[in-house]
Amino acid sequence: MRLGYSHWGFLGDGVTDTPDGGRSWRTTMLTTLAADHTLTLLQSNRDLLEAGHDVPGPYTWDSQLPDLDALFIEWRWPLPGRNDTPCGTDGHTCDLHRQQQLIDHYTLRLGVPTLIWDLDKTLADDDPLRAHPAVRVLDPATVPARGAFTMRTPVADGLLDRADPEKLVTGSRLWSLCYVGNQYGRDDHFDRYFAPPARRHPHQVIGKWTDTARWPHVHFAGRQGFAASQRLHTRSVTTLLLAPPRYAATGAISQRLPEAVLAGCLPLGPADILGITDFLPLELVVRDGHAADQSIALLDTASLGRRAELLAGCLERLAPFRASRQLAVVRAALAAIARGPQSGAP
């Protein structure tokens, strides 16, 4: 099957000044899809155009409208002053225009089976695309939007099969606590869970945080390169899984969980994230900042054996992120489109 894939991000390290959070999993996603499909990437090759690095893989690039049997879209949404401005305007990015061109041509005009992966949960509940017979929506949440299929960011099966918790927890850990990621809607979780323990534990925050006056005691290191941000997990004992309300209420767990676990960094999960005990041992679930502070203190002084034991519990719970499971979701969603408009998610 000829599958077109639309994404606005990078496959390699890319550039520092970007919010793209898909670099730890997108290549795995494409490799997984290429097992079933002839894959064509339909947005700009940002790795080549912006970072000067062409990333080879089992795909080709096409900026036109090639013949396709199915379309897969990482959903983009309007960003004022960026992708909603006229083409050619300073600072304009054409991801939204290109996405609309693809939907107009393939989905609306030709009725090509279309999968929309609403990774950031920004597709409106009443968007007409949700009801289009050629469309199925993929959602990262445990409780997805009505009619959508749950699909997580993928981790290669082999990587999980080979993961050794005893080896992963070794090495010098400079920080007791870290966070890798951007501010976007996470203020409440940050204020409740991260800021209190940051008062007495060595910590580091990497990402785009622009409104930080209320936390003068927190060390914000700003955006750093992708590789550097990932190394922070390998140098930290714990991290916190901070989530915007729309993620927490539906159990949408981001790629930060597998990123941390596979770096030997123990993730602490706020208790108000729906279904958090499906992903973390109970010992790593915290109800507030005081509990997070206590957990960090215990883990900071715990033996490597104890850390490895907890990390093993995390690794076992990463099964929903396996790439093979995401491929099964893609197959099921395409089959549902073929069966007709009344066929939704199982």
- Minimal CA–CA distance to 140: which of 301, 298, 22? 22
- Minimal CA–CA distance to 116: which of 89, 155, 144? 144
Architecture of the structural domain at 157-319: 3-Layer(aba) Sandwich (3.40)
Sorted by sequence, the CB contacts under 8 Å of residue 35 that are 6+ apart come out as 327
What residues does 138 pair with on adjacent strands? 117, 149
Given this model, what pLDDT does residue 343 score?
63
- Which tokens is 345 given? 């998610």
What pTM value is reported for the model? 0.94
Given this model, what pLDDT does residue 345 score?
67
Q: Which residue has the higher pLDDT, 241 or 83?
A: 241
Asked if residue 36 lies in contact with residue 327, where contact means CB atoms within 8 angstroms, the answer is: yes
- Which tokens is 313 given? 């519990």
Asked if residue 17 lies in contact with residue 247, where contact means CB atoms within 8 angstroms, the answer is: no
Given this model, what pLDDT does residue 16 score?
67
- Minimal CA–CA distance to 254: which of 237, 242, 266? 242
- Minimal CA–CA distance to 259: which of 284, 239, 243? 239
pLDDT of residue 203 exceeding 90: yes
Asked if residue 134 lies in contact with residue 114, where contact means CB atoms within 8 angstroms, the answer is: yes
pLDDT of residue 262 exceeding 70: yes
Cα torsion for 192, 197, 198, 199, to the nearest 10°? 110
What mean pLDDT value characterizes the chain?
94
User: Residue 265 has what DSSP assignment?
Assistant: P
pLDDT tens per residue across span 1-48:
999 999 998 998 887 665 567 889 999 999 999 999 999 999 999 999
pLDDT of residue 107 exceeding 90: yes
Given this model, what pLDDT does residue 80 score?
87
**Residue ranges in the chain assigned as alpha helix (H):** 26-34, 46-49, 95-102, 157-162, 165-168, 187-189, 195-198, 226-234, 245-248, 256-261, 289-301, 304-316, 323-339
Asked if residue 210 lies in contact with residue 194, where contact means CB atoms within 8 angstroms, the answer is: no
Domain ranges of the chain: 2-154+322-339, 157-319
Phi, psi of 72 (to 5 degrees): -125, 125
Q: How confident is the model at residue 342 (pLDDT cuts 50, 70, 90)?
A: low
User: What is the spatial distance between Cα 281 and Cα 283, in angstroms, rounded to a whole number?
Assistant: 5
What residues does 220 pair with on adjacent strands? 205
